[in-house]
Amino acid sequence: MSKRRNGCGRLRHGLRSLAVVAVAAALWLGEGAVEGAAQQPPAVVSVDEVRMEAMAQTVPVIGRLVARRAGEVAARTAGPVAALHVYVGDRVETGDPIAELDAIRLRAERDRLAAIVNEAQAQVERLVAQSALHRQELRRLEGLRNSAAFSQSRFEDARQQVIIAESAIGTADAARLSAAASLSLAEIDLAWAKIAAPYPGVVTLVHTEVGAWLGVGARVVSMVNDQDLEVEADVPSSRVGALDSGAQVSVVLDDGTEHTAIVRTVVPEENALTRTRRVRFTPRFSALRKPLAINQSATVVLPAGRSRQVLTVHKDAIVRNQGQAFVYVAQDGAAQIRPVQLGAAVGGRFEVLGGLGPGEPVVVRGNERLRPGQAITVGGAG
C-alpha cells in the first residue's frame, strides 16, 4: 500500500512539473506554437548551474578621497627668495628643487665659523706643545731628586705648571668643539637654503615670490601626494562592528567605476552629533575614467550584516516576457522553459526565491532565440 502511495505521489509531482512547463510555454509562445518548437533544429547553447552563493546585505555610505601625505613645505632657514622652480600644478619627485634662498650671508657665516674652528684647533695644538714642554721640565727635575741640585719648590712649581697646561688644553678643546658645532649648523643652514620636495606630489599653492623674505617656518608651497590616496568615510557607529581590519569592500567613484578597497583602520573617535566614526580604506584603483582628485566623492558599499547562503542563477540566464522572468533549463536534450521568482542581485547573479533547484543547468548563451521544448546541443559552460 505504501509503495502504491509513493508511486502516486511521484506521479502527481511529475504531472505538476509538466503543468508548470506547459503553462510557461503557453505564456511564452501561445498554445499553438509549442508543438512546432520541438520540430526546430537543435540550437547550440552554453549552460551554467544554479548554485548556492554567500550573500550579505549592503548599505552605501558617501565618502571622499584623501591624501595620506599633504601639507605645506616650509623654509628651514631665513633669507630672501632667490629663485622659484615650481608653479601651481607642477608635479615633483622627492628631492626635486622647489626654491632657493639667497645664500651669500649664509656662506659668509660658514666661512667665518670655519676660521674660528681653525683658530681653536691651532690654540689646542699650541697648548698641547706647551704641556709637553712642562712635562719635560718636570721629568728633568724629578731626575735630580737624589742630588744636591734638587729643589723641592721648583719641582712642585713644575708639577703645577703641567696641571695648568692640561686644564688649558681641555678648555681650548671644548672651545674647538663648540666652534665646530656652530660650523655644522651654518653648513646645515646653507644646505637648507635649497628647498626641496620632501615627497612626490603636485604643487597646489605657491605662497611666496622671488625677492620675498622668508623666516624660519614660513610657507613656500603647498603640496599633495595624489598617487598615495585613501578613501575616508563617516560610518554610523552601528555599522563599524562589521568592519574588521583587512575586510574588503566595494568603492564606487563619481565616474561610475567600481573598485575594491581594504579596511585599514577605524579611527577611535566618535562624532557626538552624527554618531559616526571615521574609517580609512586602502583602495585598489583600476580602469579609471578620469584622474583622481583630493576630496573626490566615493561611495563605499558596506556590509549591513553577516552573509547568508542563497540559491543563485546567472544573470544571463534570465529572459523576460510580459513582466515575468523565465529561464531555459537544459533537460533531456531540450530547452524546458521555467518561470522563476528572483530576489536581490549577488554580483553577476540573482537570488532565486522559487522555480529552480541547486545544480540545475540553465541556458546562459543562445537563449535569446530559443523556443520552449526546442532541441539543444550544449557547446560549453557559460
Q: Is the pTM of this model over 0.75?
A: no
**Can you give the pLDDT at residue 82?**
97
Query: Above 70 in pLDDT, residue 23?
Result: no
Distance of CA 304 to the CA centre of its chain: 23
Query: Above 80 in pLDDT, residue 324?
Result: yes
Q: Pick from 66, 71, 67, 69: which is nearest to 222 by CA? A: 71
User: Long-range contact list for 257-266, CB < 8 A, 24+ apart?
Assistant: 257/287, 257/288, 257/289, 259/283, 259/284, 259/285, 259/286, 260/284, 261/231, 261/300, 264/230, 266/235, 266/240
pLDDT in tens, 45-75: 999 999 998 776 778 999 999 999 999 999 9
Query: Above 60 in pLDDT, residue 22?
Result: no
What is the chain's mean pLDDT, rounded? Answer: 86
Give the pLDDT mean for 299-321: 86
Q: Between the CA of residue 85 and those of 111, 202, 236, 269, what are the distances in Å?
A: 27, 13, 45, 41
Percent of the chain residues past pLDDT 90, beyond the cut: 57
**Can you give the pLDDT at residue 26?**
53
Give the pLDDT mean for 301-323: 85
Least trusted range by pLDDT, from 94-108, 169-183, 231-245, 273-287: 231-245
Least trusted range by pLDDT, from 26-35, 84-93, 254-263, 327-336: 26-35
**Can you give the pLDDT at residue 9?**
44
- DSSP secondary structure code for residue 274 in this structure: T
Give the pLDDT mean for 352-359: 94
Give the pLDDT mean for 10-17: 42
How sure is the predictor about 39, in pLDDT bands with cuts at 50, 70 and 90? low
Least trusted range by pLDDT, from 153-157, 199-203, 338-342: 153-157
Given a contact cutoff of 8 angstroms between Cβ atoms, the answer to whether 302 and 235 are in contact is yes
How sure is the predictor about 78, in pLDDT bands with cuts at 50, 70 and 90? very high
Query: Above 90 in pLDDT, residue 183?
Result: yes
**Can you give the pLDDT at residue 344?**
81
Ranked by mean pLDDT, the top range of 43-47, 148-152, 154-158, 344-348 is: 43-47
> Which alpha helices (H) appear in the chain, and where do they start and end?
2-29, 34-38, 104-143, 152-192
Ranked by mean pLDDT, the top range of 25-34, 135-144, 268-277 is: 268-277
**Can you give the pLDDT at residue 11?**
35
- Which residue did the predictor score with more confidence, 36 or 244? 244
